[in-house]
Amino acid sequence: MKAANAYLNIGRFYESIYTPYKLDNFKDGKSTLQNISRNFSHLFDRDMDKVTSTDILSWYHKRIKSGVMRSTLVRDYGAFKAMLNFAAKSQDGHTPAILKDNPIKNYSLPALTLAEREMLEEHNTKLESKRVIMSNTLKLQIQNGLNLYTEQIKEKRNASRAHGKGHLADLQERVYPHWFIPFCHIARLTGMRPADIYALKWENLAYNQFNNSTALIFTPSKTKKVNYSPKVTFPVSDELKAVFDIWKNEQSSTTGFIFRSERTGRALERKAHLTHWRQVKALGGVTTDLDLYSFRHNFISELCARGVPVLTIAKLVGHKDGSMIAANYLRHDETNTLAMLQGVGGINSINNNQIKGVI
């Protein structure tokens, strides 16, 4: 019992028990742990059963006044509460739980104030503006940026090889002289989250010899947990297959991570694309605040505009159902809607002798 009581300390429980549990069982465990530490390390010298709603309220007001979005605070508080809930459960079904009862299990964050609601509405309006189909002009700018970036990479490599670095690989004949170029095309053609593209392995590509088709089969990082791992089966189009084939032919290894660090051999860091994306946008003349995630918005929006069933889209992009897509991406074509509404509820087409003063 003394050993169990020692782990009542939040910091010790976090380091010795919860950290290995999250890292071993959850793909996004590291980021969750970082969120807990970043937000609640000031409580790490406290015992878990001594945490109060006042502690949480104080943290909430401090963070929201600093401009942190409520959705972020809900996520971070949820992560901390989940850790305490975990401590309040027996780990093997036999030994007593470390924490008898989570003292904040029934506590919810305060309701939004009027000012906070207005701020949230502004934020949602900005998000809404991103959930649209990219214009052809924007698409051409991005493609032009990728082309120029390709040439820039080749020119820099040629210059390096000509000035004492002849051991470096010649990139002149490469279609993709840099990993970001196929990475960007995959984002464009699949609507995948950047985190999921980083996690892709060559083994995720499954070829069906019976119908001569290829599918990309993977588990989205947001839902990759021990007991619940729904898989996405994404049919690979001809254009997407060409991207994979070209990149594969230009690589020394055709197993393991599709985009891997040359230094570690592991997956690239999840924000490795940011610098390259900024350069591509600058070269292409993209002046809008466009992030790579916009390819996902565009992918979903285009499928919605083509009349693809919402549940089909949901399965392709790794959603458990179509509710989020229906709420955020379905757009009514105002011209078509007006055409359908013409005459609805009207009386002009009805014989005046039949009206009798009743509509």
| pLDDT tens-digit readout, 207-258 | 999 999 999 999 998 765 544 567 899 999 999 999 999 999 999 888 999 9
Task: With a cut of 70, say whether residue 147 has pLDDT above it.
Answer: yes
Report how far residue 266's alpha carbon sits from residue 260's, in angstroms, rounded to the nearest whole number.
5
- Backbone dihedral region for residue 33 (phi beyond 0: left; psi -120 to 50: alpha; all else: beta): alpha
- Asked whether the domain spanning 136-328 has the same topology as the one spanning 2-124, the reply is no
* pLDDT tier at 1, thresholds 50, 70, 90: very low
Whose CA is closest to 232, among 219, 215, 241? 219
**Segment 113-118 mean pLDDT:** 76
At which residue do the structure tokens 């600058």 appear? 282
* pLDDT tier at 355, thresholds 50, 70, 90: very low
Each domain of the chain, given as residue ranges in start order, spans 2-124, 136-328
Q: What is the DSSP letter of 257?
A: B
The whole-number pLDDT of residue 17 equals 94
Cα separations in angstroms, 282 against 146, 154, 277, 341: 10, 18, 9, 45
Maximum Cα–Cα distance for the chain, whole Å? 96
Neighbours of 307 (CB within 10 A): 6
Q: Which sign does the torsion angle of CA 38, 43, 45, 50 carry?
A: negative
Per the CATH hierarchy, to which homologous superfamily does domain 2-124 belong? Answer: Tyrosine recombinase, N-terminal domain (1.10.150.130)
The whole-number pLDDT of residue 108 equals 93
The whole-number pLDDT of residue 357 equals 42
Contact criterion met (CB below 8 Å) for 112 and 70:
yes
CATH 3.20.20.120 fits 136-328, yes or no: no
Task: With a cut of 60, say whether residue 79 has pLDDT above it.
Answer: yes
Kindly report the pTM of this predicted structure: 0.68
